[in-house]
Structure 1
Amino acid sequence: MNDGVPPPIAITAAPTLIPPMSLRHSSAFSHGDIYIFDITANQSNLIVSASTHEIKLYNPSTLAINRVLKFHTDTISQVKAHGENFIFSSSKDGHAALWDLRTDGAPVQTYCSARKDPLLSFDLNCAEQILAAGTELNDEMYEAYIHFFDTRMAGNASTANNTAVKTFNESHSDDVTQIKFHPTNPMRLMSGSVDGLVCQMDISQEEDDAMEVVANTEASVHKIGYFGPQAEYIYALSHMETLSLWMSDQADMIHNFGDVRGVSNPGLGLTVDYMVDCQYDPITQRLFVLSGSNE
């Protein structure tokens, strides 16, 4: 009996797993007190957003700036590369944007709700026809929203592009921090929130009938994702640095690892201060936790 306390996580040392590292190139995003918010990449660019509300594209070999993208007027909450030619971004200014790197200037498509609700997260479904975006809690309405946009109907930066075709407002009671579509089912969506809930829903239904399963992580959700050969599992990372694994169809908990900072072992050179995200390797069928240290 362990009285519900998860067993300790085994820690092993693999000195040759990560070779010695040294700084090869560096590049300052800008001068002054600037924060980097998000970073992603494709083969041609390192894509970085920061507190200047800009997105900069860097040459991955030299870190020379290839391009600067300007459109958003508030914090850029997320950026994603979509192949070599496209970038999606979302912002607290209420807009999500699609950039075609083969063109110059403004985004080629923008998505915005009627009230311009601040966007914290988004994802594109596998059919590339629906973009879903999660919002901050509306303090006046006491609602947090998931807006759905039809990518075939979006406007450009100069149009009144209030193109949300559907909105869910009852799934969460606080900021919607994560939106993830199922990798093969275009109608299955998972959302995570500061309210601690991870919801999986069938968005072909109206909200009252859409909910399939709800997992209560009991902690503010930071990152979520599907993993497994058939995407049959869910991971959930919290802002309190906890990690839990769930079955996606029943929301049965597989394991709660608790605060992963407890796995730190300075004697082995392992110190975990925070988690970044998880990455699933379909070849080895292993889930890797990406963590960081303040040292």
Structure 2
Amino acid sequence: MYALSCTDGFKYPGSEPTYITDIIPVSAGLAAVGSDQSLSIFNPLRLNQGPLKKVQTNHGNISCAEVFSVGNSIVATAGENGTVSLWDLRSDAANTPVLQIGTPGEGPGLLSLACSEQTNTLAAGTELANHQASILLWDLRSPRVPKIHYDEVHSDDVTELSFHPTNPHLLLTGSTDGLVNVCDTRITDEDEVVIAAFNHGSVHRAGFLNETEVYAVSHDERFALYDMGETVEKGSPTLDLGDIRKVVDCQYLCNVIPKVTGAGAVIGAGTQDQELFRLIHLSKNGASWSLDSETVVGLPGAHGSEIVRSFCFVDEQQVVFTAGEDSCIKAWRPSV
């Protein structure tokens, strides 16, 4: 295992711990979401100076955040009161959203978001309310009402949404009903919109790995890969690792981040008892996938005995960022 050292960090002040639930790289810096309902932007080279800007979101409880525009540093947030806000983190007036969608309390709480800057589209998934869970899509050029409203794609909380890496009309959806679906959003007929479906179990994490392959992680940590290609048996996993905790000897899986080349992914897994967080490469060789035990990167000490909630990395700068339930954001680099 190749170990990195913590070279910089910031701890949110206060007597009550602030869970840092997500960190998102944008051109203006490193955006961070806190359980204190804040959205902050940090200088990634000087985390210890604290946030450059910090705004209070207006969702009751913030549940999710996604980048809409990396270059323009626009981040979308959503939460329990059913609203979506877009924030320009470059602006001096960052404490005011550039766009607010929805009326507080008018609709069900939102649990997931996906953004396509290419098509000016924002998708949101709702919690189950009145026996219905919905997926809403807005054209941000005219966001007064959703342009598409799917009510039958899932039968329980919509926990994950992700647009295809090259085809912005394809939307991956995941739910606690156990299904991971791929929808063609050019189709409005709900009987026809799902073009691929995988029965994985209550979905905690899911997303595209490349043009045809997707990963899924259930709430009980089952990890599998699926392929929506025409030559693959429909619905069956192409790789099923079962409980990932047993496979990589960890206590929880934080997230899976695909590589931009489409040739692999990085799994972030933590072990609180050992105060350790590891980055494990999922590599593809031809048509086969495998975990690469030779290139594991360790972050000893991690966030102590607290869970790491989010991580990201910048290969060019050889730095990994982590955020956790100990109120801290940390930067990790190779030891000199």
Equivalent residue, structure 1, for 2:212: 232
Equivalent residue, structure 2, for 1:107: 97
CA distance in 1, matches of 2:152, 2:262: 38
CA distance in 2, matches of 1:60, 1:202: 37
Q: How does 1:125-204 map to 2 (within 5 A)?
A: 125=116, 127-138=118-129, 141-154=130-143, 161=144, 163-204=145-186
CA shift, 1:30, in A, is 4.0
State the SS of the aligned residue for 1:190. strand
Q: Which amino acid aligns with 1:75?
A: N
CA distance in 1, matches of 2:163, 2:149: 16
Aligned residues: CA RMSD: 2.1
Change in Cα spacing, 1:45 to 1:29, as seen in structure 2 (3 Å) is: farther
Change in Cα spacing, 1:281 to 1:77, as seen in structure 2 (3 Å) is: same
Question: Does 2:65 correspond to 1:65?
Answer: no
State the SS of the aligned residue for 1:37. strand
Q: Which amino acid aligns with 2:237?
A: M
Runs of 4+ displaced beyond 6 Å: none
Equivalent residue, structure 2, for 1:246: 226
Change in Cα spacing, 1:284 to 1:145, as seen in structure 2 (3 Å) is: closer
Answer yes or no: is the 8 Å Cα contact 1:148–1:166 preserved in 2.
Answer: yes
Higher relative contact order (CA 8 A, sep 6+): 2
Equivalent residue, structure 2, for 1:89: 77
State the SS of the aligned residue for 2:245. helix
CA shift, 1:239, in A, is 1.1
Answer yes or no: is the 8 Å Cα contact 2:25–2:70 preserved in 1.
Answer: no
Equivalent residue, structure 1, for 2:264: 286
Match of 1:46 among 22, 26, 30: 30
CA distance in 2, matches of 1:153, 1:48: 28
CA shift, 1:246, in A, is 0.3
State the SS of the aligned residue for 1:209. coil
Moved more, 274-283 or 59-68: 274-283
CA distance in 1, matches of 2:141, 2:9: 40
Match of 2:244 among 248, 253, 260: 260
Q: Which amino acid aligns with 2:84?
A: A
Match of 2:114 among 118, 123, 143: 123
Encode CA deviations 1:221-273: one digit per residue, 9 max, x unaligned.
01111113xx1101001111110100124433202110011124xxxxxx411
Q: How does the TM-score come out when normalised to structure 2?
A: 0.72
Q: Which amino acid aligns with 1:211?
A: V
Equivalent residue, structure 2, for 1:6: none
Equivalent residue, structure 2, for 1:19: 3
Encode CA deviations 1:11-39: one digit per residue, 9 max, x unaligned.
xxxx3xx3341353332254413322222
State the SS of the aligned residue for 2:165. coil
Encode CA deviations 1:78-110: one digit per residue, 9 max, x unaligned.
222321421111212211111122330311112
Percent identical among aligned pairs is: 28
State the SS of the aligned residue for 2:9. coil
Answer yes or no: is the 8 Å Cα contact 2:241–2:247 preserved in 1.
Answer: no
Change in Cα spacing, 1:27 to 1:90, as seen in structure 2 (3 Å) is: same
State the SS of the aligned residue for 1:148. strand
Change in Cα spacing, 1:66 to 1:177, as seen in structure 2 (3 Å) is: same
Which structure 1 residue ranges, 5 or more long, are not aligned? 1-14, 155-160, 265-270
Change in Cα spacing, 1:181 to 1:23, as seen in structure 2 (3 Å) is: same
CA distance in 1, matches of 2:57, 2:266: 35
State the SS of the aligned residue for 1:208. coil
CA distance in 1, matches of 2:23, 2:262: 26
Q: How does the TM-score come out when normalised to structure 1?
A: 0.81
State the SS of the aligned residue for 2:183. strand
State the SS of the aligned residue for 1:60. coil
Change in Cα spacing, 1:284 to 1:187, as seen in structure 2 (3 Å) is: closer
Change in Cα spacing, 1:131 to 1:65, as seen in structure 2 (3 Å) is: same
Count of paired positions: 261
CA distance in 2, matches of 1:247, 1:108: 38
Equivalent residue, structure 2, for 1:268: none
Change in Cα spacing, 1:293 to 1:43, as seen in structure 2 (3 Å) is: farther
CA distance in 2, matches of 1:127, 1:106: 24
CA distance in 2, matches of 1:258, 1:119: 29
Encode CA deviations 1:21-65: one digit per residue, 9 max, x unaligned.
135333225441332222222243222212221112222222221
